[in-house]
Chains A and B, each alone.
Chain A
Amino acid sequence: MEKPADLLIVGGGIVGLGVGWRVAQAGWSVTILERDRAGRGASWAAAGMLAPVSEVKYDEPELQELSFQSLKLYPEFVSELRSESGMDVDYRTEGTLRVALNPDEAAELRRLYDYQVELGLKVQELSGPEAREMEPSLSPSVTDAVACFGDHQVDNRRLVLALVRAFQKRGGRLHERMGVESVQLKAGRVTGVTAGSESWPASRVLIAAGSWSGRLEGIPAELCPPVRPVKGQMVTLRMAAPLVQHVIRGRKAYLAPKSDGRLLIGSTMEEMGFDTQVTAGAVLQLLYEAWRMVPGLEDLALVETQAGLRPTSRDHAPILGKTPIEGLYVATGHFRHGILLAPITGSLLRDLIVEDRPGVLIKPFGLERFLSPSYHEATS
């Protein structure tokens, strides 16, 4: 048995690793227990798009603010990570092109554009020919496009691998294939967890277990963070030479080019529980939708298909902060935004755990919004 950790993190995905690295930087002893391999869940089956501009939704002002603040942190996050891990994570800033291929899609695009302008986002309307000037591989059928310059992207796989290295360099301990069975409590405070039939004592525990965050034994049912898995399927092609530079997004699929030659095509949104099968229908739809936008992908090698589970809260916003159980924290429910929100989640949770300083930004995302009123005082 290891000596007790200052912080034990359940889950070694982008969120657990991101917080673990920041807390380890503060000189704390941090242990991460991961049920599978670090970063191989939702963080792996992602496209690494940092796209709060092109993916903006109505009526989510707090999440928008959190997203843009996180995006702002990215350049420094990436360079710090590079210097600590020695790894480059392919941070790219070309932006996203949202495209329309028929009048229906053009009308939808126009609706989005009007809203982006209303919010003061940096976007530009393009005709089909203008869009093809920027991105010559776009189909001649593209009639309209909106360039979203504020969007960026990273290679999410390199990002989690770099975080593993940086975390361990800072003295963090990572145990893979070590699924946490239950959380141990004593007199209303957390004392550690049980994993691999062993006891892992810790004075603080952070639940960052993605879609599994609501399924830990030992936590009273009414305090379990309400997250469900939303399945996403993806197809990966290999480009011999760069086919597109921007992320290309249509109504039913996107293409995200990576500097190592991979072209990621995603993704579905399915309420299929913990099922991770890749299905014929999804591959058919993704490839067809991608091909409509970029017909030149026809000759590329198909190198991977995958399905991941996005941890999704009821309002699709993350659940961040303390719980009514002393010493127990949560950082989960990041849905489609785990990679984008990694830097801000790391900073906010570090400040909260290490310095007991809850940032202004974290406030709207507490677990208490899902709890019955009797619990509200305990967490406020």
Chain B
Amino acid sequence: MNRETLAPPKELRASQDALTISGKTYRSRLLMGISLYPSAEVMLRALEASGAELVTVAIRRVNLKDPRAENPVTLIDRDRYEILPNTAGCYTARDAIYTAHLAREALGTSLIKLEVIGDEETLYPDVEQLLQGASALVREGFTVLPYCNDDPVTCKKLEELGCVAVMPLGSPIGSGCGIRNPYNFQLIRAAVKVPVILDAGVGTASDVAMGMELGCDGVLLNSAVARARNPVRMAEAMRKAVEAGRLAYESGRIPQRFYADPTSSMRSISRLQKKD
């Protein structure tokens, strides 16, 4: 038997090099938030089970002034996890820019997940403020990952402004409603070259797998794990879902059909034989 035929196809090998953001490679395509866990201990165990390397932290919700003090951020092993600070809770570009500066000073990273919230009920992004904020932060040398609408035009604009990834929402933050408009994710995938990271809306593992099957480069989630009955096991489920979804995407799925296509008819056997 030919050795070559036993090796995984090229596409499958490619999945092992995983996610590249702004020139940096991460083995895991799962990004995790650290809020809402039953305790810091459970949070740390869930991070471990998730395999995530990028961990996002709401800068306005943590006091970073005292590096000696124990808090959820100082408990995170920075040799193992890279912190992706975010601007959660900001309603104007100005607040978000200020928060990004705080994050850069306190954590010594220029990475920033830019969130500018437009509405309290839906927590949808304010697109106008988001574009303003992204533009300013990119100019100031930040590496900007914007949380945005599932809208190909906005995503394209953010890419053109110099954002290193786009992070469209599947459905509102914390809603657990999954990807409400899969078609838009395909449009976004086709519209931008930077990584597309599904952010917000994940409820369970199948949502994650779906995002990856649609061609997302990664998934960021928090509530779905933190508020699960067993967060550590749910984190493991999410890790596996990211891997499964990515593999499925790279493996090339079959087209959906209206009628059945028998797996063991004479016709399919003859097809096999022809190949030989």
Contacts and interface: CB of A to CB of B under 8 A. Distances in A.
Interface of A: 57-60, 214, 226-228, 270-275, 312, 314-317
B225 to A, nearest CB: 13
B230 A58 contact: yes
A273 B65 contact: yes
A271 B39 contact: no
Contacts of B38: 57-60, 316
Contact of A227 (B65, B70, B230): B70
Contact of A228 (B70, B229, B230): B70
Residue picked from B61, B63, B66, B73, most chain A C-beta under 10 Å: B63
B40 A315 contact: yes
B41 A271 contact: no
A228 B61 contact: no
A227 B39 CA distance: 12
Contacts of A274: 66, 69
B39 A214 contact: no
B254 interface: no
Please name the 5 residue pairs, one residue from A and one from B, whose CB atoms are nearest each other, closest first.
Answer: A273-B63, A316-B39, A315-B41, A228-B70, A272-B63
B72 interface: yes
A315 B42 contact: yes
A272 B69 CA distance: 10
A35 to B, nearest CB: 17
Contacts of B42: 315
B234 to A, nearest CB: 11
B99 to A, nearest CB: 14
Given A214-B70, A315-B39, A315-B41, 6 more contacts: A57-B38, A228-B70, A271-B61, A271-B72, A273-B71, A314-B40
B71 A228 contact: yes
Interface string B57-76: 00001110110011111010
Contacts of B62: 271-272
B64 to A, nearest CB: 9
A274 B41 CA distance: 21
A287 to B, nearest CB: 15
A228 B68 CA distance: 11
B88 to A, nearest CB: 13
A59 B71 CA distance: 22
Interface in B61-120: 61-63, 65-66, 69-73, 75
Contacts of B39: 314-317
Nearest to A370: B41
Nearest to A231: B63
A118 B105 CA distance: 48
A264 B61 CA distance: 24
Contacts of A214: 70
Contacts of A226: 70
Contacts of A315: 39-42
A115 to B, nearest CB: 8
A271 B63 contact: yes
A271 B71 CA distance: 7
A333 to B, nearest CB: 11
Contacts of B44: 314
B229 A314 contact: no
Nearest to B66: A273
B230 A270 contact: no
A307 to B, nearest CB: 13
A14 B66 CA distance: 27
A227 B40 CA distance: 11
A317 B38 CA distance: 11
A312 B72 CA distance: 11
5 contacts: A59-B230, A228-B70, A270-B61, A315-B39, A315-B40
Interface string B29-44: 0000000001111101
Contacts of B66: 273-274
Contacts of B72: 271
B173 to A, nearest CB: 13
